Each structure stands twice: as structure tokens, then as C-alpha cells.
Amino acid sequence: MWPQVVRVIRKRTVEGISVIGTVHSMSGALLWTIYGIFAKIPSIAVANTVTFVAVCFIINAQVRAGVLSLSLLIAVLMAITVIGVVAAILSESFIGVVAIAIGGTAIIPQTIRSARTSHQVGLSALTAAMIAVMSASWSVYGAILKDAFIIAPNFLIVPCALFICIRAVISHRRYGSTIATVAVPAR
């Protein structure tokens, strides 16, 4: 997510970035952090904490741009924290299922937005490519640990991330560095 953070700061725009997808990603990273803590897998907890922090930078930009309500964000964050902790207390398997259901599907809103919108100057193609590689790597790591919860979400994430990457590259080539979304209709 860090190349996306850099792009948001450098371009001073969140144009093309799905608000629902960003909140969804924040929720997923938080749930996977909780899973990593309760499953005693530090690599998952640390990696997802880093992702959570990066997504918070993007969310901050979305709140400042007025496309995301701070009160809604706080409500979602509180609800996900409670759901994650309760699920983890109930069962390691249950928090794994919840993390897959929410975290593993977090890429869908951005995939839909990328399919519907050709103007995505604010979207980082590098981040999408890195997500694809990272997800493929997590699948291998999950296979080594024999942990289906780590493997499962990546069957969705890898192709979606590759699609987003391609759409972002096309947008960047077509529109260059313009950020005027009014001049370019969403397609």
C-alpha cells in the first residue's frame, strides 16, 4: 500500500480510489492483524499492521477530501475491532473465516471501480502489482504452514489486483498526470 500512499501525497488526489474499498481494506488489515495475534503468527500480525497504517494515510486523505465521513469511519473501525476480538476469543478458526470474508474480499470494490472508471490518476499501478505478488507469496507461505485461511483469499486477490494494475496503467497512459475529474467522464 505504500506506493499508493506516496501517489496520494504526490498527486494530491484520491481520484479513482474506491472509498468503500479503502474502508474495506482497513477492516481486513485489522482483522488479519487480530488473526495473526491470536494464531500466534507474528508475520501476519506485523504485515497487516503495516498495511493498516498505510491504509490509514489514504483514509485520512479521503476524509480531508470530503469523500469519507469521519463519523462513519470511526463507527466501522469500532465495529470491526469488536467483531474481530469477539471472533478471535470464540475460536481461531472463526476469526480466520471472518478475516477471509472481510479481508479477502476487500479488493472487490476497487476492482468494480476500476472496471467502471477509466480515469484513475490517483490509483497506483505499482501498488496493485505489488498486491498481486504479495498475495501469491502469502499463498506459498500459507501452503508451507498448511494454513488454508492464509491461502484462500488469494485466489480472488491475485487476479483482481492484476486487473486493477492493468486498468491503472491504461488510465495513466491515457490521461497522464491530470487530476481534473470533471473534464473526463467516468466510463
1 to 106, 115, 182: CA distances (angstroms): 13, 20, 27
In contact, 16 and 113? CB cutoff 8 Å: yes
At 172, which amino acid appears? H
Burial class, 144, CB count within 10 angstroms (exposed 0-12 / middle 13-18 / buried 19+): exposed
Confidence (pLDDT) at 179: 52
C-alpha cell at 46: 506485523
Q: Report the C-alpha gap between 105 and 134 in whole angstroms.
A: 15
40 Ramachandran zone, left/alpha/beta (phi>0; psi -120 to 50): left
The whole-angstrom distance between residue 185's C-alpha and the CA centroid of its chain comes to 25
Confidence (pLDDT) at 126: 93
Confidence (pLDDT) at 178: 55
Confidence (pLDDT) at 177: 58
Q: Report the C-alpha gap between 124 and 47 in whole angstroms.
A: 20
Q: Report the C-alpha gap between 98 and 106 in whole angstroms.
A: 12
Walking along the chain (187 residues) 10 residues at a time, the average pLDDT comes out as 89 87 94 94 94 96 95 96 96 91 91 89 90 94 91 93 95 73 40
C-alpha cell at 56: 490509514
- Residues in contact with 110: Cβ distance below 8 Å, sequence separation at least 6, in sequence order: 17, 18, 21, 123, 160, 164
In contact, 134 and 74? CB cutoff 8 Å: no
Confidence (pLDDT) at 13: 86
